[in-house]
Chain A
Amino acid sequence: MSSEPGGADADDATDTAVDTPAAAAEGARDAAEHPLVVEGLHKTFGGITAVDGASFSVAEGSLTGLIGPNGAGKSTTFNCITGVHTPTSGRIRFRGDDITGMAPHAIAQRGLVRTFQIARELPEMTVLENMMLAPKGQAGERLSYAVVPGLRDRVVEQEEELLERAWQQLEFFEIDHLAEEYAGTLSGGQRKLLEMARALMTDPEVVLLDEPLAGVNPTLEEKLLDRIHELREMGNTFLFVEHDMDVIMNNCEHVIVMHQGSVLAEGTPEQVTSDERVVEAYLGGDV
């Protein structure tokens, strides 16, 4: 049960990786890896089963979409992966390690970083402070390094590097003109950009995007998607939870459809949309 979907994904992912212009023989080999694997995930809240045996995997360097109607268990799956909820049963593996039930910060430190559906900026911190919070392995996060004179020099050095990176990232997301503003004064769309930029400051291996386009207007949506594609070409891996079928179908090379807590179908957008069960259960007359 657990190995089957993994095997199928590997083939799909290899195909798509070869399709992308950047891919070389080396890229094809990497794509065979699946950094994130979910196996038989169950989560119940009291008598309600939110996730009922979901299994899927995310291929290296892919932009994988996770869709499903309301109540399909997408968010719960998401929260189980990121450690917010502890699964009732099932396993979540990241780079081969079992991360089931780990604390959210421990999972994030391994390189599995999430964004939030409703952008959660830190309002009374500036955009730059928001950005510089994120990077891992900051020496100055130890009180002794922050305070003791000799050790602090290293912190200052590191801060300079981080500041440089933060500016670059802000420029990439085109919000560098807001760098010194308080994050609380940003507009909804700018917060979404900040949120994604901040997540990327952690040098994540896999980014879990929880409806990054919810409440975003079409122009900004295009911009966000452009950024995601650019980042994917640079080698980032994305798992993308989204309601909007069109967005998923147009942008993801691999789609997982959830329904009533389990995976109903997965494959390329074409495969999924032609799957009768999916059309019945979710798409209805839309497609």
Chain B
Amino acid sequence: MSSADADADGSSDATAAPGGATAGDPGDGDNGRYVSGWTPYREWFRDRWAQGGAAAWGTALAHLLVGALLFALVAGFDLGSLPIGGSLIWFLYLSLTVGVLYVATAPPAEPYVAWLDERWMESDVDKLLIVLGHVVLVFFVFAVALGLPFNGLVGALASVFFFTAVYAMMVLALNLHWGYAGIFNIGIAGFMAVGVYVMAILSGSTDPGPASVPGLGLPLPIGILGGVVAAALVGLVAALPALRLRADYFAIVTVALSEIIRITLKSTALQEFTIAGITTGTGGATGITMPGNPVRLLFYQSFDAGAEPALLGSVLFPLLEGLRVTLIPPGSSWLGIVPLPAFTLDLAVEPAVIANLAYVLVLAAFVALFYVLLVRTGNSPFGRVLKAIREDEVVAKSLGKDTNRFKIVAFMFGCGLMGLGGILWQGSQGFTNPGAFRPIITFYIWVALIIGGAGSNTGSVLGGALFAGAIWEGPVYVRRVVTNFVEFGDTPGTFPAAVAPLIEGKVLPLLSFLLANVSALRFILVGVILVTLMQRRPEGLLGHRKEEAAAIPLTRPGGGDGDGIGEPTAAADPVADGGRDDAADGGAR
């Protein structure tokens, strides 16, 4: 706020303004982290910008012009006859430049940033709302840019929130392992696979048709419980011998176990087998059919594709499919003089999207459950011992804590939750195969944890949301938006073919190539984000490990503040103050 005020004051205080702006940069801890050669230029720019009026706009326009000339030279455009694609590129360039200017010269954005910052500090719920709100906002922009109907927007949001929820669950479980107990588990996908496959075998239909292997046909709750327990037991099997190992060796054991599980599920030996007269199996590489998602039964009478709507469906579907609000009826006019165009707000949502959205709501409830469970686990004497193990296991042992028991219980609990998360994720899709449990899934979950911040449960949920929104779904929509606006022609098939036209000054083939491979580019994006994060904020967004491990707030009992009770002690013992100083000296030596 202070810097915004300084800027508003105008030119008289121009020299102070950049400093104020820098110091006022809200809480991101960005100060002094700019590349040193860049800073004087940035400050000069802020200075000019802060003067307002002609000076500011003159500078901005000069930048635009210089940039445009450079761009034109590099791109080799004939300035007289721009191709239509080129003009859109120009448009893109201009918006990009304006955007960069806007960000580089923080003042205009500052009230917003300050507001965000204020809200951000309020509570964990606010943090979550801010992140989710921005995800909704960005996807709304995408939907508008793509000209998607409301149905498309809801569908896109259901998809991104699906991934947000499943990643949040998995990251929460991983946070118990790594953030609290310091157990280096890189075999998450394996524990998910155990949960999903055991569930599928227990609850799979006994007569699945020719394409799939039969299951045992038990009720779904038993299947889910079985899957969770199986994942926890596999966790126990991994933990018993392996927790004696150092963290890095334990990591190798978990990733190896995860691959063993995946390859076992893929093997033809277990594809279909008969035990005690019951035939079942893993389905091998072709995969296995999941039991129907019960959320579908809320809306349909059966799991079949063309099923009739059930009660809730028969009420909701016609209501939402025909939801169009006529704001301005046709033929209306303003005061009977100026004719107005007809305008109808189209809020129609299709049945399939409604069912998806309902499942996302169920997932949200599970995220809440995971969150409460893990916050309770963390904020308790149990979580305190886990933290102590993470910090220094020898100390925990010397204070009489049976650290192996704690590690095993925490590991099994986390693995069980991973199994449940897997069931809700891969098990909800009707069908899965071992390919869904490659180690890359494990590493995606780790990336989400690192973004959110290890040690923080709220950070885990935020990490899941940011990973799903910004890294997983975001780039795909960016591609859709860009390809919607720019005509690329043929996309080159190879990287050399994409780069070669650059010599002739053609950038479109490269752009087109990059966009076509956006899902592969996600890996690069992940890398860039990790490197940036490690440099600038190694603890992740919220990972100060600040969540106190206690069932009650750790403040002085009786509500008195520190000084009130502390002083009599100090007064009674004259050595106290001297002792404190000395204690500080002792450490400084």
Contacts and interface: CB of A to CB of B under 8 A. Distances in A.
Interface of A: 82, 103-106, 108-109, 113-114, 116, 120, 122-126, 128-129, 132-134, 136, 138-143, 145-147, 152, 155-156, 159-160, 163-164, 167, 171, 174-177, 179-180, 186-193, 198-199, 202, 215-217, 219-220, 222-223, 226
Interface stretch (B91-99, B385-393, B519-527): B385-393
Given A174-B569, A176-B569, A129 B578 contact: no
A199 B566 CA distance: 22
B391 A113 contact: no
Contacts of A193: 583
A223 B575 contact: yes
Nearest to B410: A143
B584 interface: yes
Interface stretch (B27-35, B103-111, B221-229, B397-405): B397-405
A179 B401 CA distance: 22
Contacts of B396: 105, 133
Given A108-B397, A125-B388, A132-B550, A190 B409 contact: no
A218 B67 CA distance: 68
B548 A126 contact: yes
Contact of A147 (B377, B391, B587): B377
A247 to B, nearest CB: 16
Contact of A124 (B380, B391, B554): B391
Interface in B364-398: 373, 376-377, 380-385, 387-388, 390-392, 394-398
Given A122-B395, A189-B586, A219-B582, 13 more contacts: A106-B402, A108-B400, A122-B392, A124-B387, A143-B382, A160-B552, A174-B580, A177-B562, A177-B580, A189-B584, A190-B583, A215-B589, A217-B586
A209 to B, nearest CB: 12
B573 A132 contact: no
Interface in B390-437: 390-392, 394-403, 406, 409-410, 413
B397 A140 contact: no
Contacts of A219: 575, 578-579, 582
A86 to B, nearest CB: 14
A30 B159 CA distance: 72
For B380, B403, B551, B587, the residue with the greatest tally of chain A CB atoms inside 10 Å of its CB is: B551
B246 interface: no
Given A143-B377, A193-B583, A136 B550 contact: no
A285 to B, nearest CB: 29
Contact of B550 (A147, A159, A187, A222): A159
Given A109-B400, A129-B549, A217 B391 contact: no
A147 B397 CA distance: 23
Contact of A179 (B377, B410, B562): B562
A129 B400 contact: no
Nearest to B384: A133
A177 B584 CA distance: 13
Contacts of A123: 391
24 contacts: A103-B402, A104-B397, A105-B396, A105-B401, A122-B387, A122-B395, A124-B545, A129-B384, A132-B550, A138-B381, A143-B413, A145-B382, A155-B551, A160-B557, A163-B554, A171-B565, A175-B583, A180-B555, A186-B587, A188-B589, A215-B589, A217-B585, A217-B589, A220-B586
Contact of A191 (B391, B565, B587): B587
Contacts of A141: 381-382, 385, 401, 406
B459 to A, nearest CB: 15
B523 to A, nearest CB: 31
A7 to B, nearest CB: 31
Contacts of A106: 400, 402
B556 interface: yes
Interface of B: 373, 376-377, 380-385, 387-388, 390-392, 394-403, 406, 409-410, 413, 455, 545, 548-552, 554-557, 562, 565-566, 569-570, 573, 575-576, 578-580, 582-589
B387 A129 contact: yes
B382 A114 contact: no
B184 to A, nearest CB: 17
A104 B380 contact: no
A82 B556 contact: no
A222 B385 CA distance: 32
Contacts of A199: 399
B382 A113 contact: no
Contacts of A164: 557
A186 B376 CA distance: 28
A223 B381 CA distance: 31
Nearest to A172: B569
Contacts of A138: 381
A202 B400 contact: yes
Contacts of A126: 548, 554
B548 A129 contact: yes
A163 B579 CA distance: 24
A215 B579 CA distance: 15
Contacts of A167: 556-557, 565
Given A159-B550, A163-B554, A190 B584 contact: yes
A177 B586 contact: no
Contacts of A223: 575, 579, 582
List the 10 closest A-B pairs by CB distance, nearest first: A187-B587, A189-B586, A146-B380, A108-B400, A140-B381, A189-B583, A188-B587, A122-B391, A109-B400, A219-B582
Given A159-B381, A193-B583, A219-B578, A152 B376 contact: yes
A30 B287 CA distance: 72
B114 to A, nearest CB: 28
Contacts of B400: 105-106, 108-109, 113, 136, 202
Contacts of B588: 187
A219 B578 CA distance: 8
Contact of A105 (B403, B413, B455, B565): B403
Nearest to A147: B376
B576 A174 contact: yes
A85 B318 CA distance: 74
A189 B587 contact: yes
Contact of A187 (B388, B562, B584): B584
A126 B549 CA distance: 9
Given A129-B550, A129-B554, A223-B575, A146 B586 contact: no
For B385, B395, B557, the residue with the greatest tally of chain A CB atoms inside 10 Å of its CB is: B395
Nearest to A199: B399
Contacts of B589: 188, 215, 217
A140 B383 CA distance: 9
B381 A155 contact: yes
Contact of B582 (A114, A179, A180, A220): A220
B157 to A, nearest CB: 32
Contact of B551 (A140, A176, A191, A202): A140
A201 to B, nearest CB: 8
A139 to B, nearest CB: 8
Nearest to B379: A146
For B410, B573, B582, the residue with the greatest tally of chain A CB atoms inside 10 Å of its CB is: B582
A108 to B, nearest CB: 3
A202 B388 CA distance: 15
B395 A103 contact: no
B399 A176 contact: no
Contacts of A125: 384, 387-388, 391, 549
A141 B404 CA distance: 13
B566 A171 contact: yes
For B391, B556, B584, the residue with the greatest tally of chain A CB atoms inside 10 Å of its CB is: B391
Contact of B398 (A104, A132, A156, A187): A104
